[in-house]
Each structure stands twice: as structure tokens, then as C-alpha cells.
Amino acid sequence: MNVIDLVRQTTKIVTECATHVKLNENALHKTGDIIAKTIKEKVKEKSVNSLIESLFIEWDNDTVHYRFLDKPELTCQYIMVLSSCNFCFWPFNDKYLPNDEFEYHHFASSLRDVLLNDSTAFDAKNLQTISEEKLINEWFKGKQIPLVGERVRLIREVGFTLEKYFNGKAYELINQSSKSVKNLVDLVTRYFPGFRDSCIYSPTGQQIHFYKRAQIFCADIYGCFNGKGIGEFTDVDQLTMFADYRVPQILSSDYYLKTNGEDAGSILVYSEELDKKLEKFEIFEYSSQMEVEIRACTVQAVELLRDYLYQKHGIKCLSIEIDWLLWQIGEANRLVIKPHHRTLSIFY
């Protein structure tokens, strides 16, 4: 069994056993109906069946990421570094003070600026020598960010591993996948320990797999290059959504349905105990029962949404496209919906 199949299989086990998170099928179907309606209203042409095209969702509008299609090797190197540290953009923005905020767009654009100023900054040898002082003061201009030491460690890991096994280039790593996301996720999790996002679900003692950053690396390469050239994957439909904290935040809120005139509750229904922890901004330990159930049920909710869109509305889309849509809705409304769960983790 390939590593992505393990994500689907093991998260389904959690969903079936979960006691703190339940799926609201009615809300899920209502959400699917709204997404389908939006797609049908906004399609650019009758033949368009892509969620990205129909909703005008783009991987980037060239204002956040380093994206130069005529420089594919450098762009891939950027996305590899981006993926190595794409996690935990809190707790320094809990009060939403503009000067304290460090969200994904701050992170991605800071890395872009580093590379624009010095095209050799992400060379494998340079990554191996990154320091906390350089990361904070030079790369992020003095911004407070959580888990600084871990980010430095993971960037160094990327530098050492790329140099040892892939001629120093993320481009070579991707080439070795033979246009398969299954192969690429396997390569990334095999050679880069920092991407091995799995844990034990305490009620059953089973190992549960998510591989959020490994999968988002594949998706970012695909999205950046529009599925062409180095971004072409013959099995991109195999990727699941990326189990983080923003997508479950929007799925556990009824905001999206209410703003579209529906009153069916939220897709993810939390126990009273879990909701109280959220309200108090308590920390959820990585691999704790509640934390695993939130992530696993989010993966399965997106899988069910994808299936519903196709079976009910004939709209075929990718799990990653639904993830991008929900993430953007959650990100845009993060100040008005219920708080996200807080876990200090290198995995998301």
C-alpha cells in the first residue's frame, strides 16, 4: 500500500471511532450544493469542469510566492524550502495585532524576497548553515515566529539531504518521482524525516498517517506549474487535503452555510469538552485524541465532499482543490469564525 492510501485508510478508522468529532452529513451535503451552484454560476466556458478554473482559484497571483516558470529549478528549490517550514503560524497573532501577525502569506513572501535578493540563498550548502539569528533577522525581518529552532533544523535537513542524494536540487528530487505524487510523497517521507507526519491514535493504539507537508509540496509544484513540465503528475487526484488547523476551523463553523442562507449547522461537530478547550485557547498536544480526531475527520470530510460533488452534481474535482477553496474561505474569515485548535507542531 502506498503512503497516500495509508492517509485515507487510517484517517477513516479514526472517523469511525471518534468520540469528540462527528461529521454532519446534512451540513456536508448543503455545503456541496452551494459549492456546486457557485461553480455552475461562474464557469468560464461550458467545458470547464475544474474547481480551480470555475472558481478562479489560483495557486498564486505572483504577489506572495517566488514563481518564475522560466526558472523551474530555482522555483522548485523555493517550494521545497517553503514546504519544510510550512507549519504553525501562531501563537504570536492571537490578539490579531497587525505588527505581531505572522500568517502564511508573511512567511511565503519573506522567503520570496530572500531569493529575489540573493538567487544562491537556497543553494543546498547555504541551507545547511542557516542560523536562528539569520532566519529571524535577515529572512523574517525581526518578526516573532514560533518553533524557530525546529524551523532551522528542518531547513538544514533539506540542505544536507538534497546535497547527499539529489545533487543539491529539489528539481532532481521531483524528477525521480516519474510524474507520480505517490512516488514523490514516498521519496520525501523516506529521505526527509521532518516530513514524516504520523502519530498514534490512543483509543485504538493504531498509527495514523497525514503527511500534510509532503502532500502540500506535491500540490504546490503541481499548482505552481499548472500541471505542466516539472509540475505534471499523472496521479494528482490521489492527493488528500492537507490536515492543518485552518480548514477544520471553517468546517467546524456554520459561517459558510449561514452566509449562503442555510441553517444546517457545521460539517464538523465538536464535543462540548472540545469546544470549551477551543474557547479558552488551550493547547492540544500533538497526537492527543482530540487533535487526531480533528485532523482525521477533516481529511474524511473533504473526501466525502469531493465524492458528493461528483455523484450528485457531476462535478469532478481534486481533494486539493477543495482544500484550497476551504482554506481561502477560512483564511479570509479567520477573525469572525470560532477559534482554530492550537497545537505546537512541526507538521502543520
Q: Which residues have a catalytic role annotated?
A: 244
- Beta-bridged to residue 304, according to DSSP, are none
- What sign does the dihedral 103-108-109-111 (CA atoms) show? positive
Residue 300 corresponds to which cell in the numbers above?
A: 474524511
Rounded to a whole number of angstroms, the CA Rg of the chain reads: 20
Q: Are 163 and 124 within 8 A, CB to CB?
A: yes
The Cα-based distances of 193 to 57, 120, 158, 211 in angstroms read 32, 25, 10, 11
Q: Report how far residue 74's alpha carbon sits from residue 62's, in angstroms, rounded to the nearest whole number.
A: 15
What is the per-residue burial (b if ≥16 Cβ within 10 Å, else e) of 292-331?
bbbbbbbbbbbbbbbebbeeeeebebbbbbbbbbbbebbe
Q: Which residue has the cell 488547523?
A: 245
- Rounded to 5 degrees, what angle do the CA atoms 249, 293, 181 make? 80
Phi, psi dihedral angles at 132 (to 5 degrees): -60, -40
DSSP assignments along 79-104, one per residue: HHHHHHT-----STTTT--TTT---H
Residue 328 half-sphere exposure toward CB, CA atoms < 13 A:
12
Helix or strand holding residue 209 (H, E)? strand 206-209
Helix or strand holding residue 199 (H, E)? strand 198-201
DSSP assignments along 211-274, one per residue: -HHHHHHHHHHHHHTTT-GGG--TTGGG------SHHHHHHT-SHHHHHTT-----SEEE-HHH
